[in-house]
Amino acid sequence: MAATEASLGRRIRDSELWWSLRRHRAAQVAIVMLVVIIVSAFAAPLIAPQDPYDLASLDLDNSELPPVWSADGRWPYVLGTDVQGRDVLSAILYGSRVSLAIGLASVLLSMAVGLSLGLVAGYFGGVIDNVLMRIADILLSIPTILIAILVTAVFRELLPVGLRETLSAVILVCAIALTAWVQYARTVRASTMVERGKEYVLAARLIRVPASRIMLTHILPNTLTPVMVAATLNFGLAILIEATLSFLGVGMPPTEPSLGTLIRIGNQYLFSGLWWIVVFPAAQLGLIVLAVNVIGDWLRDALNPKLR
Amino acid sequence: MADTLLAVDGLTRVFDVSAPWLNRVLEGRPRQLLRAVDDVSFSITAGQTVSLVGESGCGKSTVARLVVGLHAPSAGEIRLIRPDLRLQMIFQDPYASLNPRWRVRSIVAEPIRTLGLRSDEAAIRARVDELLGIVGLGASDGDKYPHEFSGGQRQRISIARALASEPEFLVCDEPTSALDVSVQAQILNLMKKLQRELGLTYLFISHDLSVVRHVSDVVAVMYLGRIVEEAPVETLFRRPLHPYTRLLLDTIPDLEAPRRDRTPMGGEVPSPIDPPKGCTFHPRCPLASERCRHERPELAARADAGRVACHAVEEGRHK
């Protein structure tokens, strides 16, 4: 085991990805930033000064406090508090956790759907391919955000009132994944059509390896490079869509706010001078999406054989 | 013949290369069919090497894929001596024929596992080491990835994988055309050695006549999906009858007469979608007559051995 671990370490050090990362300062910064954001978000119950969901911890005496560096600021409310005395920093940490989790879940769901449909369409071709790709075309011709609003609205109408808030995260994930799978399916379909005709696949077909095994063990690993790039960029996009939906009021409820919900709530106080309630969650959202996109751009260049 | 391992009779494969349905309807274009292989018949005797030669696009690779069952024939049949005869294939491009994400050991072991030829892991491992040894690689090479090998070494791995399924019949689709000349000889000699030791039968696809002369017992020349001449290798090289065969042989460089006056091969291969009427070779043929432009010649027995499809030969105009 020790030998394989050592060789894994060497393989990472020798890999072209590592080599290109060492020369890409922006990607290094973005990765560090994203790691810090992710760790702090998921460690929120341990490091946040306050539990923003626990109404007992809120104190109206501490409401509307500006950030700590202003004259009226007070510790430990580093980024100030909202009108109910909720610590903005804590709300951001908890909110980032919700946003990141929904982003990740929707990427995983859409990837699972997109990879399987793309593999099947590309490998078998014919009618299956035509039907799947026309569905994809239709989905692509409607704006993503419109579909997402439609789906969340319909789901919320169908569900009993009690379940609406508890299931809102699941609804959001499904709504985002419903359009996001198309990109993976198209990418994988295209690479599958190339790989399908390659001789190593023919060699496997000759000895009657089942089609499902050819797709999973031979073709899929060779189509993953562009998928990783798409997944990274879509992670940022998914977080943005979730924030938009929550901002519009069809996303996460105020009892379990995501960054988008925080921005929507804070937006109401922007012109009463309580700028910190909206600016800091918005800045966090911007940082996350920026970091993810920088990493995605770097991956796209690093994994593109034509740019090497 | 009792020892005919495989007989191909009237084999035809048509590909539909039409534009998509919507374009056809809007632009009023008909379906387009490509006859890649047209009424090809030949048989292979056990232990022999039969070569198919011809320019690119003449359908020889399609014949190879039809024989191993990767394509279904549109017409005609392929008869095996036994239904369970094991066929394997060695491919042209050693860079595309090995999965880049698999270790060599897994690549060579895949046929053994899939066909259940060995029962336990230790036996599979021993067999893979043995196969790597047979093709001249070391057992330690099994733990490497394909990109760590040269083209010739990759082709050896390909051969090891083909041998792993314990075949009697190997279809070799231009196995050396992607290799350096010095490496070509090594691979060809390895294949000849395996044929002697394991009693293999080869269907050898190539466009390289000097390679074909080196390995074959029987040579069939293909042009636009049809066999135009077929003969034992020495007969064909010493006395080519079909004008196309002669043109092909003229293109071989000759060490003894390096600057001889060679007739450059004129013209392009016509499109197989819309082949010329009559003998498909007539637009490029120096002997073409009015009959060649209208009537398609059938394969007929040569005077010595083999078959040839040419009106000029039949009429004695070729001398």
Measured in angstroms, the CA of B197 and the nearest CA of chain A are apart by 23
B271 CB neighbour count, 10 Å cutoff: 11
Given CB atoms, is B110 within the 8 Å cutoff of chain A? yes
Go through the domains of chain B in sequence order and give each one's CATH number: 4-85+168-315 (3.40.50.300), 100-164 (no CATH)
Q: Is the pLDDT of residue A233 over 60?
A: yes
* Mean local confidence (pLDDT), B284-294: 86
Q: Tell me: the pLDDT tens digits for A35-48? A: 999 998 888 788 87
Nearest Cα neighbor of B75 from B43, B40, B51, B44 is B40
Cβ distance B96 to A200 less than 8 Å, yes or no, reads yes
Query: Is A14 within the bounds of a domain?
Result: no
Name the domain count of chain A: 1
Q: How far is CA A297 from CA A16, A291, B131, in A?
A: 16, 10, 45
Cis peptide bond prior to A76, omega within 30° of 0: yes
Q: Which of A200, A206, A221 sits opposite B70 (nearest CB)?
A: A206
Cβ distance B100 to A222 less than 8 Å, yes or no, reads yes
Q: What is the C-alpha to C-alpha distance for residues B59 and B64, in angstroms, rounded to an integer?
A: 9
Residues A144 and A179: beta-carbon distance below 8 Å = yes
Query: Is A34 within the bounds of a domain?
Result: yes
Contacting A residues, span 146-165, partner chain B, CB-CB under 8 Å: none
**What are the φ and ψ backbone dihedral angles of B233, each rounded to 5 degrees?**
-55, -45
Residues A110 and A184: beta-carbon distance below 8 Å = yes
Specify the pLDDT at position A105.
94
Query: Is A117 within the bounds of a domain?
Result: yes
Residues B94 and B151: beta-carbon distance below 8 Å = yes
Q: Is the pLDDT of residue A181 over 90?
A: yes
* Mean local confidence (pLDDT), A109-132: 94
* Mean local confidence (pLDDT), B3-18: 88
Side-chain half-sphere exposure of B286, counting CA atoms within 13 A: 13
Q: What is the C-alpha to C-alpha distance for residues A285 and A32, in angstroms, rounded to an integer?
A: 16
Q: Is the pLDDT of residue B1 over 70?
A: no
Q: What is the C-alpha to C-alpha distance for residues A270 and A163, in angstroms, rounded to an integer?
A: 32
Segment (H or E) for B306: none
Q: What is the C-alpha to C-alpha distance for residues B66 and B76, in angstroms, rounded to an integer?
A: 11
Q: What is the C-alpha to C-alpha distance for residues B279 and B294, in angstroms, rounded to an integer?
A: 7
Q: Tell me: the pLDDT tens digits for A53-91? A: 777 777 777 777 777 777 776 777 777 777 777 888 888
Q: What is the C-alpha to C-alpha distance for residues B135 and B118, in angstroms, rounded to an integer?
A: 20
Cβ distance B91 to A199 less than 8 Å, yes or no, reads yes
The band of A14, judged by pLDDT with boundaries at 50, 70 and 90, is: low
Query: Is A2 within the bounds of a domain?
Result: no
Would you call A153 helix, strand, or coil by DSSP?
Answer: helix
Query: Is A126 within the bounds of a domain?
Result: yes
Segment (H or E) for B170: strand B169-173
Q: What is the C-alpha to C-alpha distance for residues B273 and A168, in angstroms, rounded to an integer?
A: 58
* Mean local confidence (pLDDT), B199-213: 90
Specify the pLDDT at position A118.
95
Specify the pLDDT at position A1.
39
Nearest Cα neighbor of B203 from B23, B7, B18 is B7
Q: What is the C-alpha to C-alpha distance for residues B38 and A30, in angstroms, rounded to an integer?
A: 61
Given CB atoms, is B91 within the 8 Å cutoff of chain A? yes
Q: What is the C-alpha to C-alpha distance for residues A178 and A184, in angstroms, rounded to an integer?
A: 12
Would you call B319 helix, strand, or coil by DSSP?
Answer: coil
Amino acid at B294: H
State the CATH number of the domain containing residue A220. 1.10.3720.10
Cβ distance B161 to A202 less than 8 Å, yes or no, reads no
B-chain CB neighbours of A202 within 8 Å are: 65, 70, 89, 91
Q: What is the C-alpha to C-alpha distance for residues A278 and A185, in angstroms, rounded to an integer?
A: 37
Segment (H or E) for B43: strand B33-45
Q: What is the C-alpha to C-alpha distance for residues A274 and A292, in angstroms, rounded to an integer?
A: 29
Nearest chain B residue to A126 by CA: give it: B20
Share in percent of chain B as helix, strand, coil (round to 5): 35, 20, 40
Average per-residue pLDDT in chain A? 85
Amino acid at A2: A
DSSP state of A87: B
Query: What tokens does A149 get?
Result: 């609003």
Q: What is the C-alpha to C-alpha distance for residues A248 and B151, in angstroms, rounded to an integer?
A: 59
Query: Is A258 within the bounds of a domain?
Result: yes
* Mean local confidence (pLDDT), A144-170: 84
Q: Which of B70, B87, B111 sits opposite A202 (nearest CB)?
A: B70
Specify the pLDDT at position A60.
72
Strands B300-301, B226-232: pairing kind: unpaired
Least confident stretch, B18-27, B257-266, B275-284:
B257-266
Q: What is the C-alpha to C-alpha distance for residues B292 and B296, in angstroms, rounded to an integer?
A: 7
Full domain range(s) for residue A111: 24-55+62-303
Query: Is A152 within the bounds of a domain?
Result: yes
The band of B113, judged by pLDDT with boundaries at 50, 70 and 90, is: very high
Strands B218-223, B226-232: pairing kind: antiparallel
Q: What is the C-alpha to C-alpha distance for residues B200 and B48, in angstroms, rounded to an integer?
A: 8
Residues B299 and B62: beta-carbon distance below 8 Å = no
| pTM for this model (two decimals) | 0.81
Segment (H or E) for B154: helix B151-164
B-chain CB neighbours of A209 within 8 Å are: 110, 114
Q: Is the pLDDT of residue B299 over 80?
A: yes
**What are the φ and ψ backbone dihedral angles of A133, each rounded to 5 degrees?**
-75, -30
B32 CB neighbour count, 10 Å cutoff: 13
List Cβ neighbours of A20 (8 Å cut-off, separation of 6 or more): A298, A301, A302
Measured in angstroms, the CA of B96 and the nearest CA of chain A are apart by 6
Specify the pLDDT at position B257.
62
Average per-residue pLDDT in chain B? 87
The band of A7, judged by pLDDT with boundaries at 50, 70 and 90, is: low
Least confident stretch, A244-253, B114-123, B140-149:
A244-253
Given CB atoms, is A194 within the 8 Å cutoff of chain B? no
Q: What is the C-alpha to C-alpha distance for residues B243 and B77, in angstroms, rounded to an integer?
A: 29
Query: Is A13 within the bounds of a domain?
Result: no
Amino acid at A264: R
